[in-house]
Structure 1
Amino acid sequence: MEQRLVRLRDALSQLGADALITEKKENRFYLSGFTGSTGWVIVTEKEAFLVTDFRYIEQAQEQAPHFRVVNNERKPVEAIARVLKEAGVKRLAFESSVSFGTYQEWSKAFDGVELVPTSGLMEKLRMYKDPSELAIIREAVRIADEAYQHIQGYIKPGVREVDVALELEFFMRKRGAEAAAFDIIVASGVRGALPHGRASEKVIQAGEMVTLDFGAAYKGYNSDITRTLSVGEPDPKLKEIYDIVLRAQIAGVAALKPGVTGKEADAVTREIITAAGYGDAYGHSAGHGLGVEVHELPNLSTVSPFVLEPGMLVTMEPGIYISGLGGVRIEDDVLITADGHEVLTSSTKELLILPV
């Protein structure tokens, strides 16, 4: 945590601000380790404060030992103003995602403090995973991999998509996950053409492909895996599409290394799918960053300017979606290393055809 504060202070110095305030839960957790639902983190040149209410004082003191915990006594804006005055803050960086109402309130309450809007400052710091973060993420990935292995024995004709999603979440929770990382996607048959087809009441039928997109939330971090399998022998067209997506995904992963831009990594997958005649059926980006949020920087897309560097963690997930037929997506979690990359996801990517 201390090293994260050092990096933030360096960024604030470059910005010309002498403090940052954040209420966003992901950034609050990243900087302090505090998991309560309410709180404001204030980091100055020399100190770090966590302003919260009576419910969380003891928890905050335990989880954020490098922070001075301040009881807001049900008047958070006044408490924050006192902290800023005590610390001598003159230029306060804040996240531009705060509401206009909050900005107005702060402008009136923080006497003598210039509010400096920032966008993406914290998110860019979070792109680089340290060893403690990676240890947690590896466990989140392991839980998801085990869940995929387990669910293969559960999926069969007559089972509803929602029941598959529930079984996945229940299994992951039994293995230590706090929750599913996001609303689990289970898209079978023609619903496979929906890239974000959340589990429905639809009953899975023999001969259908099923796309599973899920992850484990574990100790504040997330994993994200997608696999597509078939319940019995699939439509030959879908089998063809599967092979194309698999080739694109493997090539996309192979391209991930320091110095490659997110745009270039995306292009590797897009060129293969387009050459096969399915460019118009691949409408989303190739991947995204992964950490305390399921979708964070850097992104891999047709417009991504980010240059990949060691310590970044991204997904690689090309797909093809054909209305009225179905779809295929395959996704891995990949760490950028000094000499290339490491695929954290271990689940097989070969097409599984489950017995019926």
Structure 2
Amino acid sequence: MNRLDKLRDALDQIGADALITESEVNRRYLSGFTGSTGWVIVTQKDAYLVTDFRYIDQAKEQCPLFTVVNNERKAVEAIANVLKEAGVKRLAFEGSLSFSTYSTWKEAFEGVELMPTSGFMEKLRMYKDASEVEIIKQAVKIADDAFQHILGYIKPGVSEADVALELEFFMRKQGATGVGFDIIAASGPRGALPHGRASDKIIKAGEMITLDFGAQFQGYNSDITRTVSVGEPSAKMKEIYEIVLKAQIAGVEVLRPGISGKEADAVTRDIISAAGYGEAYGHSAGHGLGMDVHELPNLSTVSPFILEPGMVVTMEPGIYLSGIGGVRIEDDVLITADGHEVLTQSTKELLILPV
């Protein structure tokens, strides 16, 4: 079943005639359109892309299943005309819509009931088809290759910012269109910052550095974290590394259809808590991965989701000790019919780089 048919089935379930989305991610997911401006409208019979003159030729090329409508600088009127011609009476929209836009639409779309949705498209995007999986695998490979490359670059005297820049430069040379998020490169005591973006701090011998980064490739993302030591680490850092590694491996091993995000999170949390570091593990075990770096399903203490084939998730437990440092290890994992496939291939054993 293609994406439009999946969407139409979902619209049937909520009693809507059509969906409208302006989200760049959801617009691209449904239509393939990569332009910066446009509205996708999908009804039970037709699909439309409303955009302006800058993108008409591009849209016709990228969206063969869509009727492309030139809004002629009057987007609201153009959308209203599409809805009228398609006979739409109940229009689903995403809950992120601004109140100003909602008010304008309510007045302009005569005879149309506006139906807010929450997580509607995100739930559809949880399930990756074969083409999406292949693109994600390419994004993961770029990140894996970047990790191997950066090991020869990291040394005392280099700044975190330089490491991040080198990672991005390498990934772009390998075909990435960008990074999925601001690269995290946190060394020494800064490793205690779970989202410690790369700074001007200079890396020192004996410090560990946590690298969290991902490649963006053809609209999809990878997300990998590895922590390495620059020279011999302290006994405490070695200790927490082994604990996180044990938790991360156990967390990956339980990923399969039928397990809940809450159960998967608990596997990692129980190991870290039993070692006495439960309070130093304050984030969730993982999250869905795809066109957004963080998407559904989440793996957390309150996750309501049951894992199913086609989902791609991360597994990333960590321990963070204020003033000392931190460790996080993260893989990207595809849920398969009979278990899982670990997409990330970079070693997770503690690497001690020469100084």
**TM-score normalised to structure 1 length:** 0.99
Does structure 1 residue 70 correspond to structure 2 residue 69?
yes
The letter of the residue matching 2:167 is L
CA apart distance, 1:355: 0.2
Equivalent pairs, count: 355
1:203 positional shift: 0.3
* Mapped partners of 2:210, 2:186: distance in 1: 5
Amino acid paired to 1:239: K
Residue 326 of structure 1 is matched in structure 2 by 325
User: Helix, strand or coil for the counterpart of 1:133?
Assistant: helix
State the secondary structure of the residue aligned to 1:34: coil
Deviations 1:12-59 (A, max 9, x none): 001000000000111001000101110100000100000011111111
| Per-residue deviation, residues 258-303 of structure 1 (Å, max 9, x unmatched) | 0000000000000000000000000000000000000000000000
User: 1:131-151: per-residue Cα shift (whole Å, max 9, x none)?
Assistant: 010111000000000000000
What residue number does 1:127 align with?
Answer: 126
Aligned to 1:100: 99
Give, as a single letter, the amino acid of the residue that structure 2 aligns with 1:165.
Answer: A
Within-5 A mapping of 1:10-159: 10-159=9-158
Measure, in 2, the Cα distance between the counterparts of 1:9 and 1:159.
Answer: 53
Q: Residue 163 of structure 2 corresponds to which residue in structure 1?
A: 164
Compute the displacement of 1:116 (Å).
Answer: 0.6
User: d(CA) in 1 for partners of 2:295 and 2:255?
Assistant: 17
RMSD over aligned Cα atoms: 0.5
Partner of 2:6: 7
Partner of 1:308: 307
**Aligned ranges for residues 144-293 of structure 1 at < 5 Å?**
144-293=143-292
Query: 3-state DSSP class of the match of 2:2?
Result: helix
Q: Secondary structure at the match of 2:13?
A: helix
Which amino acid counterpart does residue 194 of structure 2 have in structure 1?
P
What one-letter code is carried by the residue in structure 2 that aligns with 1:166? L
In 1, Cα distance between the equivalents of 2:233 and 2:56?
56
Distance 1:277 1:206 in 2: 28
How far does the alpha carbon of each residue in 1:179-215 deviate from its partner, in whole angstroms, 9 at most, with x for none?
0111000000000000000000000000000000000
CA distance in 2 between partners of 1:96 and 1:149 (Å): 41
Question: Identity over aligned residues, as a percent?
Answer: 79
Q: Partner amino acid for 1:209?
A: M
- For 2:268, the aligned partner's letter is T
Separation in 1 of the partners of 2:151 and 2:263? 34
Tell me the SS of whatever aligns to 1:315: strand
For the residues of structure 1 that align with 2:34 and 2:234, how far apart are their CA atoms? 47
Amino acid at match of 1:152: L
Structure 1's consecutive aligned runs of 4 or more residues displaced over 6 angstroms after TM superposition are none
Cα separation, 2, equivalents of 1:54 and 1:226: 42
With normalisation by structure 2, the TM-score equals 1.00
Measured in 1, the distance between the counterparts of 2:134 and 2:57 equals: 27
Q: How far, CA to CA, are the matches of 1:193 and 1:44 in structure 2?
A: 49
Secondary structure in structure 2 of the residue aligned to 1:128: coil
Secondary structure of 2:57's partner? Answer: helix
Query: SS where residue 97 of structure 2 aligns?
Result: coil
- Distance in structure 1 (CA, Å) of the matches to 2:118 and 2:185: 34
Matches of 1:108 and 1:13, distance apart in 2:
25
Q: 1:96 offset after TM fit, Å?
A: 1.0
Q: Distance in 1 between matches of 2:234 and 2:191?
A: 13
- 2:164 partner letter: A
CA–CA separation in structure 2 for the residues paired with 1:167 and 1:238 = 26
- Give 3-state SS (helix, strand or coil) of 2:310's partner: coil
